[in-house]
Amino acid sequence: MTIPRKVIAAFVTGLICTCSSPNVLSAAEITILSSLNVQPEMEAVIPHFERATGHRVSISYATSPDFLKRVQDGARMDMGILFTETMDRLLSSTKIEVGSRFDILQSGIGAVVRAGAPKPDISSVAAFKTTLVATKSVAFSRGPTGVYMVTVLERLGIAGQLTAKTIMTNSGIGSVGKAVANGDAELGIHGTYELLSVPGIDFVGPIPADLQKMMVYSAVIPARAQVPEAARSLAKFLSSEIAAPLIRKKGMEPIAVR
């Protein structure tokens, strides 16, 4: 049997194209639904991921209530990213089938003052307590960091002393930093990653290690994800030599995914 020349030519042409473009067959469109709070980190990293892998990422950002609604409405999602405690509530309150789940990003809690203002001493628990009592006003968020800091004030025995001078901002990235930058609060305490991107403030440093809590973000790949391996490769890329420095500049630390 003689194979027509046109068939041979088409086969050879296809082989050459495949070999010269190794990502053609493996490239995927990854759909991500992410917490709004990690938007700066993801936007810094995704273009590098796309160039390195040939994958394309379609990512949308949502507040926690909107995230939950979109999941309940059946939105397509190859990977979801949320504050880990919020993720726990999401998975317990919905019927989403989980293919895999892992922690990907974390950040400690830090303090800021208005740009150019003297930086108070928060280097030890005793110094931090003294600074809180002495400050004219302090801003916390109504989000997870602020909720945790209320327990810290109670632990230090100064919750009552700070009631009149505490400013509670809306939850969300930049809210505490903006209150300090605008002069509404003398001191701001929030997740470091939510402070560093705000202009008009100076970072004092992390709160003492004995009082510290890491704010962790988790990723979940649903069992019905269309491209689970491609989504996992993005999670792994966050701790790469390319991505990690970009994430640290935003105030977060990547967590290696195996």
pTM of this prediction? 0.81
Domain layout of the chain by residue ranges: 27-106+216-254, 109-211
Q: What is the H or E stretch that residue 57 is in?
A: strand 56-62
CA distance between the termini of the chain:
51
- Same CATH topology for 27-106+216-254 and 109-211: the answer is yes
SS3 96: coil
Note the pLDDT of residue 72.
Answer: 86
Cβ burial of 102 (10 Å; 0-12, 13-18, 19+) is middle
- Crossing angle of the two packed helices 39-53 and 228-237, in degrees rounded to 10: 110
Beta carbons within 10 angstroms of residue 214's beta carbon: 14
Q: Report residue 15 as tokens.
A: 């082989």
Mean pLDDT, contiguous 10-residue spans, the chain (258 residues):
43 35 65 93 97 96 90 92 92 86 96 97 98 97 92 96 94 89 97 92 97 96 95 97 96 94
CB contact at 8 A, 196 and 251: yes
Q: In CATH, which superfamily holds the domain spanning 27-106+216-254?
A: Periplasmic binding protein-like II (3.40.190.10)
Note the pLDDT of residue 137.
Answer: 97
Note the pLDDT of residue 95.
Answer: 77
State which CATH number among 3.40.50.150, 3.90.1150.10, 3.40.190.10, 3.40.50.1370 fits the domain covering 109-211: 3.40.190.10
Note the pLDDT of residue 1.
Answer: 45
